[in-house]
Amino acid sequence: MPALIMALAAAALALAAALSRMTRQRRMRDDVRAHYRLVLDEGEQLESELADRLQEAEVVAHLPPLPGGRPWAAGDEVLGMAQKVAEGLEQLSIVRFAMSESRWQEARQRLDLLLGAFHEAATGLRILEERIAGLDRVWGLPATSAILLQRARGRRKPGQSEEAPADVEEAVASAEDALAAHVGMEAFVRAEANRKLASALADFDGWHVARDRRARIVDLVRTETPVLVERIEDAGVRRHPEAASRVANIRKDLQAATESLDAGRPDHAERRGRRARDRGQRLLKDLQAGILPAPGDQRIDRRTIAIQALVPAFIVGLLVSAITQRVGHLVPGLNRAADPAEVARGAPARVTSVLREGMGADKLTDGRPETAWMAGQALLDGPVAVVGLRVAAPLASISVLPCSVPSGRCTWEVDVSTDSRTWYTAGSASGQGARSPANAAWGTVTLDATTSWRLIRIRPVDWGKSGVGIFEVRAWRRPTEQR
């Protein structure tokens, strides 16, 4: 009956601990997953904004600087910020790996760092937008004219194998003249220059885009990314609102890339197509890492958790009870917190040497096997430990739990005395020494005499390749003398 009670108590404690641990882990997991989604949304939104601002920022290099100012390479700044954001999004793979191994605290710390970096980039983008707006207010230049002019100048590179069409040259010249006279420029003049330039550049793009590059872009936009989206949708993510929202954003990028490709803007189509593909790959990795619940996941109720935790805990409780009773039979009093027949617990002790602080003589009788006395001298120098009982008593047995690193067989002799002047050898014993008390084995010396002894001396004889150490010394009064 006591064994059953102990098993039930152990099972109840194990169940409570398991439920508490699972609750804490679930809360931390949900918090980290929500934070991951926040960081991912921030990064992707910032990535989209930087892509939208890149062409506008590149135009700034072709605009006159503010009076007293210097030329400003805003495009390089946007590219730098975009590179940092892309690197941050790539680092989310490390976060996903940490989350897949349930290292939630590490994942949260990395997410906080990434979110701070994204906020810093967003602040830089806001400042850049204000500076561009300031240039536009000063010069009154429409972005359309500057963008078209930039594209035209990009086509007039030295060393081209074929000359630019006449209508392109004429449109470029018209736009340059219009921009040169930006102050008081008539709107219809600007519009006419833009119309000519846009029409000419549309034809020009069709002539000079390399076939192999265009083929790669077409494959990216029309085949690779759509197939990836189909794989994600086939996995059933449409049943998850969050995943469905991310898929919708991917399709939006894919639609924009398709329209750009049809309009003869391969650069823009490639940027939007790559972004759609990268977002799809990240979503697929999130599903594989378990950051988003898989469609077939079933929520485990509390009864299932209780059964899964209770059955093994009950079995473990029975085993612990049986082992405790068995060891207690071999070493009397070991299975009780404070056996009244045990007379060495808390008794003062002395030793010849101590290896370092925290491993002194008091560890021999403190009742805690996880602590140990470690001698500060070699076995040949004769380390000795002496335990002084508070009251002289006839002893039935004396047990020692040896500490040994590395593990090995340990042998010692036990002497007893009534006055510290005359010592009598009670016998020798041996036990398995180990680094941990759980792996060590007690050695016991049995006494037959009814003499009341006051002092116990432990003399190590053989400790293998290890320095001398003892986890615990215990002594028991003869049963006839128990009070």
What does each C-alpha distance from 451 to 305, 378, 392 come to in angstroms?
58, 33, 9
The span from the CA of 438 to the CA of 306, in Å, is 29
Give 458's strand partners.
Answer: 385, 414
The span from the CA of 15 to the CA of 21, in Å, is 10
Neighbour-count burial of 317, counting CB atoms closer than 10 A to its CB (0-12 exposed, 13-18 middle, 19+ buried): buried
Residue 406's φ and ψ, nearest 5 degrees, are -75, 170
Highest mean pLDDT among 190-204, 227-241, 307-321: 227-241
Q: Which residue has the higher pLDDT, 289 or 52?
A: 52
Q: Which residue has the higher pLDDT, 479 or 41?
A: 41
The residue whose two tokens read 């390089």 is 76
> What local confidence, expressed as pLDDT, does residue 171 receive?
60
> What local confidence, expressed as pLDDT, does residue 235 receive?
67
pLDDT digits (tens, 9 = 90+) for 77-126: 888 888 888 888 888 888 888 887 778 888 888 898 998 888 888 888 88
DSSP characters for 11-68? HHHHHHHHHHHHHHHHHHHHHHHHHHHHHHHHHHHHHHHHHHHHHHHHHHTTSPPPTT
Q: Which residue has the higher pLDDT, 401 or 140?
A: 401
Q: Choose among 237, 268, 240: nearest CA to 253.
A: 268
Taking residue 354's Cβ as centre, other Cβ atoms within 10 Å add up to 17
> What local confidence, expressed as pLDDT, does residue 448 receive?
83
What's at 167, amino acid-wise?
D
Q: How confident is the model at residue 301 (pLDDT cuts 50, 70, 90)?
A: very low
Lowest mean pLDDT among 1-10, 143-152, 285-294: 143-152
Lowest mean pLDDT among 57-71, 334-348, 414-428: 57-71
Residue 31 has pLDDT above 80, yes or no: yes
Q: Choose among 85, 125, 108: nearest CA to 34.
A: 108
The span from the CA of 23 to the CA of 437, in Å, is 32
pLDDT digits (tens, 9 = 90+) for 222-238: 888 888 888 777 766 65
Q: Which residue has the higher pLDDT, 198 or 108?
A: 108
Q: How confident is the model at residue 60 (pLDDT cuts 50, 70, 90)?
A: low
Of the chain, the percentage scoring pLDDT greater than 90 comes to 18
8-state DSSP, 165:
P
The span from the CA of 421 to the CA of 310, in Å, is 57
Whether 428 and 384 have beta carbons less than 8 Å apart is answered as: no
Q: Which residue has the higher pLDDT, 199 or 285?
A: 285
Where do the domains of the chain lie, and which CATH numbers do they carry? 2-289 (no CATH), 349-481 (2.60.120.260)
How many CA atoms lie within 13 Å of 137's alpha carbon, on the beta-carbon side?
6
b (16+ CB within 10 A) / e for 98-133: bbeeeebebbbebbeebbebbeebbebbeebeeebe
> What local confidence, expressed as pLDDT, does residue 51 receive?
80
Of the chain, the percentage scoring pLDDT greater than 70 comes to 65
**pTM of this structure:** 0.39
Whether 400 and 431 have beta carbons less than 8 Å apart is answered as: yes
The span from the CA of 14 to the CA of 29, in Å, is 22
The span from the CA of 418 to the CA of 392, in Å, is 8
pLDDT digits (tens, 9 = 90+) for 435-461: 989 899 999 999 987 888 999 999 999
> What local confidence, expressed as pLDDT, does residue 182 receive?
47
Helices 266-289 and 74-100 sit at what angle, rounded to 10 degrees? Answer: 20
Q: Choose among 166, 164, 165, 195: nearest CA to 178.
A: 195
The span from the CA of 305 to the CA of 15, in Å, is 9
Q: How far apart are the first and last CA of the chain?
A: 26
Q: How confident is the model at residue 433 (pLDDT cuts 50, 70, 90)?
A: very high
Highest mean pLDDT among 267-271, 335-339, 400-404: 400-404
> What local confidence, expressed as pLDDT, does residue 300 receive?
42
Residue 159 has pLDDT above 70, yes or no: no
The residue whose two tokens read 């641990």 is 21
Whether 131 and 77 have beta carbons less than 8 Å apart is answered as: no
Q: Which residue has the higher pLDDT, 9 or 85?
A: 85
